[in-house]
Amino acid sequence: MRALKTKKVSGSNPLWNMYETIRFVKVLKNVIIIEISRYLPSVKLKLWLFRKFLNMTVGDKTAFAFKATPDIMYPELISIGRNCIIGFNATILCHEYLVEEYRTGTVDIGDNVLIGANATILAGVRIGNNAIVASGTVVSKDVPENMMAFGNPMQLKKRR
């Protein structure tokens, strides 16, 4: 079960009123840092930007591949362990807007985790140590350690 904080809204959908819940300047800064980092070839520089300007917790020797994208609104809710790979064009989300509410939640990724290309990690999930998330997977629930998550809808399989 995902750990999410939910806020109901009235009137139009929450995206029309998002700057009532988050500062415009914060989102603008995050978008600029994240868009620059998506195309940077230097893993070290990406990690420095994420730690320094987005307040993300990222362990040593973790690498974000080309176009990997942390959440633009709440990147500070992301915690990633040591020696992880966040694959090409993977997305880590800490928020979701629905028609009548919005939700936020932390994303905790353990040590030695591989997130495959084009995977999407939804808000409020935990991925345990030594887990693998296959390419294209939508992670909609927790992934225990030493497990492989694959597909959409997501399925789990014990790692060999």
Q: Which residue numbers are catalytic?
A: 95
Report DSSP letters for 84-113, one per residue.
Answer: -EE-TT-EE-SEEE-SSEEEE--EEE-SS-
What is the C-alpha to C-alpha distance for residues 87 and 139, in angstroms, rounded to an integer?
Answer: 14
Q: Determine the length of the chain.
A: 160
Contact 45, 69 (CB under 8 A): no
Q: Can you count the helices (H) and strands (E) in the chain?
A: 2, 17
58 - beta bridge partners?
80
